[in-house]
Structure 1
Amino acid sequence: MLKDHAKIIHAIAASDEIVGRKKLQKMIYIAKKINYPFHEKFAFHFYGPYSEELTLRIEELCNMGFLNEIKEKKGGYYQYRYTLTESGTEFLELNEVSMPHLKDCLVDMNGQSARFLELVSTVLYFEELPKEEVKEKIFTLKSKQRYTEEEINQAYHYIDALNTKAAILS
């Protein structure tokens, strides 16, 4: 059971810090889609792919004292900041996780905006569809985000780059 928890701790440790619940969700989803062994189930939600399982695991890890969740007020909303605790580091040392080169991919993703990762994860969610249909879905389902065709093309290029990086590094 705790193997999946250890993978989440490993991901946050590899990233040093992840700012934002949405960003955390998208990073794990994208990592899963480029073949890292995360097992949380995702469904399409307001902000793209979302996992209730992942939300519960994060909550459990915070309750167990393995993760710090710092809630910060940002204008009209709250933002959450995730880091590993000393206990989380000790847990990870006892429960080694082998996901070679995940750090390289996560550090890259962590440098992207949550908005862009939302687009990338949405493209990946509909990856079985032809590119034109994916664009239509994005323009319809994500109309409030006002994504441009150029941003969608950038998302496709970014996915290719991540897949290449994951393949080369493994």
Structure 2
Amino acid sequence: MLKEHAKLLGAIAASGEITGRKKLQKMIFIAKKISFPFQEKFQFHFYGPYSEELTLRIEELCNMSFLDEVKEKKGGYFQYRYSLTDSGREFLDHFQSDDDTLKVCLEDMNLQSARFLELVSTVLYFDSLPREEVEEKVFTLKSKQKYTKEEIEEAYQYIEKLKSNIQ
């Protein structure tokens, strides 16, 4: 059980700090889709792929004082920042397998906007479909985001870049 918790702690440690619950969800989903061994199950939700399991594990890690969750008011909404506590680092030392490839991918993803990661994760969620159908899904399911064909192309290029980093 705690092995999966350790993987999440490792991902957050590799990223330094992750700002936003949505961003955290998308980063783990993308990492899983490009072959990193995360076990959480994802379903399509309002903001793209979402895992209730991941939400619960993050909550458990906060309750165990392994993760620090800082809630900040940003305009009309709250934003959450996640980072490891000293206890979390100690716990992680018992499990850690340094995966530099995962670290590089997560650091890169953490530099991207949550909006872009939402698009990338949506494209990956429907990766079994032909590209035209994926575009159609994006334009239909994510119409409020007003993604362009250029942004979708950028998402595909970004996925290839991430995949090339792990080969």
Q: TM-score normalized by structure 2?
A: 0.98
Tell me, yes or no, if the aligned pair for 1:6 and 1:97 is still in contact at 8 Å: no
1:98 CA drift (Å): 5.1
Distance 1:2 1:80 in 2: 23
User: Structure 1 residue runs of 4+, over 2 Å off?
Assistant: 96-100
SS at match of 2:39: coil
Question: How far, CA to CA, are the matches of 1:60 and 1:47 in structure 2?
Answer: 23
- 1:33 offset after TM fit, Å? 0.4
Matches of residues 30-41 of structure 1 in structure 2 within 5 Å? 30-41=30-41
Is residue 2:56 matched to residue 1:59? no
> How many Å apart are 1:95 and its aligned residue?
1.8
**In structure 2, what residue type is equivalent to 1:5?**
H
Counterpart amino acid of residue 60 in structure 2: E
RMSD: 0.7
Letter of the aligned partner of 1:77 in structure 2? Y
**Residue ranges of structure 1 left out of the alignment (5+ in a row):** none
Superposition map of 1:99-138 within 5 A: 99-138=99-138
Report how far residue 96 of structure 1 moved: 2.2
Q: Determine the C-alpha separation between the residues in 2 that align with 1:99 and 1:25.
A: 20
Question: TM-score, length-normalised on structure 1?
Answer: 0.97
Q: In structure 2, what is the equivalent of residue 80 of structure 1?
A: 80
Structure 1: distance between partners of 2:93 and 2:35: 23
Q: 1:100 offset after TM fit, Å?
A: 4.2
- Aligned amino acid, residue 45 of structure 1: H
Is 1:122–1:138's contact at 8 Å kept on the other side of the alignment? yes
Shift of 1:94: 1.3
Question: What do the CA deviations read for 1:80-137 (whole angstroms, capped 9, x no partner)?
Answer: 0000000000000012235442110000000000000000000000000000000000
User: Which is worse superposed, 150-159 or 89-98?
Assistant: 89-98
Q: Is residue 62–residue 68 contact of structure 1 (8 Å, CA) maintained in 2?
A: yes
Moved more, 97-106 or 19-28: 97-106
Tell me what 2:160 maps to.
160
